[in-house]
């Protein structure tokens, strides 16, 4: 029987990787740089990789960012920009993914900005105190049709950024247009992802209830964007109940 690895050696190696990388290693980074393999760290220090990283000082996003620190000026400005240019959507499953409805529904926030308004993106980065989780697509008339003006499009899919930064700010500084209804449904989808991750099932399949609820939210959001029914009517239509 192989000798059991000393937990102090595991912790030492985890700290050495952190010193080398300048941050607590991801699961893939531990697989690449670690002496013992990612599964060993998680088995001895886990059960989740987030708990493994806590041994070397990692903190969850909600522990390092405080929406209450966002000033009324910044919060109201961000809310106004999103009212005008933002879009809350639930991305439907890809027909070619092979994963069916079990994995592919996903909440995504997008915002399009004129190319000469690049400073607005910098302001959004500053308020959210992040840039790594924001994907920017540069749009040109050639690639998006002859009538499309050059623009940047921000896509936010990162769960911590949505759940602990963007959503709490918009709860403190509510949207004033009908887009608030989109936001309410969007938040329900984010909550499903968040509850799944916080229950230690981040990389596991959705339950049948979660899958069906995401599907209902997807169709409800398509209806609400038509602005032909009230939010309450749509909630009743799809038998949806709002959670906090």
| Structural domains counted in the chain | 2
Residues 170 and 54 in one domain: no
Q: What's the confidence (pLDDT) of residue 145?
A: 55
CATH code of residue 176 = 3.10.28.10
- Directed axis angle between helix 208-224 and helix 179-198, to 10°? 170
Q: What's the confidence (pLDDT) of residue 152?
A: 81
Residues 39 and 84 in one domain: no
Residues 127 and 15 in one domain: no
Q: What's the confidence (pLDDT) of residue 96?
A: 60
Residues 89 and 49 in one domain: no
Of 88, 89, 87, the closest CA to residue 218 belongs to: 89
User: For residue 152, which phi and psi values (nearest 5 degrees)?
Assistant: -105, 145
Residue 95 has pLDDT above 80, yes or no: no
Share of the chain above pLDDT 70, in %: 86
Residue found under tokens 């030492």:
12
Residues 213 and 163 in one domain: yes
Residues 133 and 202 in one domain: yes
168 inside domain: yes
Asked if residue 120 lies in contact with residue 127, where contact means CB atoms within 8 angstroms, the answer is no
CA distance 164 to 161: 6
pLDDT digits (tens, 9 = 90+) for 96-138: 655 444 456 889 999 988 878 888 988 998 998 876 545 566 5
| Gyration radius (Cα) of the chain, Å | 21
Residues 51 and 73 in one domain: no
With H, G, I as helix, E, B as strand and everything else as coil, classify residue 155. Answer: strand
Residue 1 has pLDDT above 70, yes or no: no
Residues 28 and 76 in one domain: no
* DSSP letter, residue 154: E
139 inside domain: yes
176 inside domain: yes
CA distance 13 to 24: 11
pLDDT digits (tens, 9 = 90+) for 134-157: 556 655 544 455 556 677 888 888
Residues 20 and 135 in one domain: no
- For residue 138, what are the β-bridge partners? 152
Residues 39 and 150 in one domain: no
123 inside domain: yes
Q: Which of residues 5 and 180 earns the better pLDDT score? A: 180
As to burial, measured by CB atoms within 10 angstroms (0-12 exposed, 13-18 middle, 19+ buried), residue 215 is: middle
1 inside domain: no
Residues 100 and 214 in one domain: yes
Which domain, by its residues, includes 99? 67-237
244 inside domain: no
Residues 140 and 206 in one domain: yes
């Amino acid at each position: 029987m192989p000798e059991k690895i000393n937990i102090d050696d595991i912790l030492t190696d985890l700290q050495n990787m952190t010193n080398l990388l300048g941050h607590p290693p991801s699961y893939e980074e531990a697989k690449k740089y670690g002496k013992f393999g990612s599964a060993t760290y998680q088995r001895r220090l886990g059960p989740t990789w987030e708990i493994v990283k806590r041994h070397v000082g990692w903190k969850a996003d909600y522990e390092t960012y405080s929406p209450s620190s966002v000033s009324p000026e910044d919060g109201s400005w961000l809310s106004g920009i999103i009212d005008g240019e933002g879009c809350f959507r639930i991305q439907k499953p890809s027909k070619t993914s092979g994963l069916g409805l079990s994995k592919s529904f996903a909440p995504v926030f997008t915002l399009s900005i004129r190319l000469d308004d690049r400073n607005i993106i910098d302001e959004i980065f500053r308020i959210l105190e992040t840039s790594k989780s924001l994907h920017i697509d540069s749009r040109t008339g050639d690639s998006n049709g002859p009538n499309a003006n050059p623009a940047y499009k921000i896509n936010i899919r990162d769960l911590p950024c949505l759940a602990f930064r963007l959503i709490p700010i918009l709860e403190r500084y509510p949207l004033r247009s009908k887009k608030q209804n989109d936001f309410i449904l969007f938040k329900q989808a984010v909550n499903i992802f968040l509850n799944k991750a916080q229950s230690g099932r981040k990389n596991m399949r959705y339950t049948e209830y979660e899958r069906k609820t995401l599907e209902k939210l997807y169709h409800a959001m398509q209806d609400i964007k038509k602005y032909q029914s009230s939010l309450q009517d749509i909630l009743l239509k799809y038998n949806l109940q709002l959670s906090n």
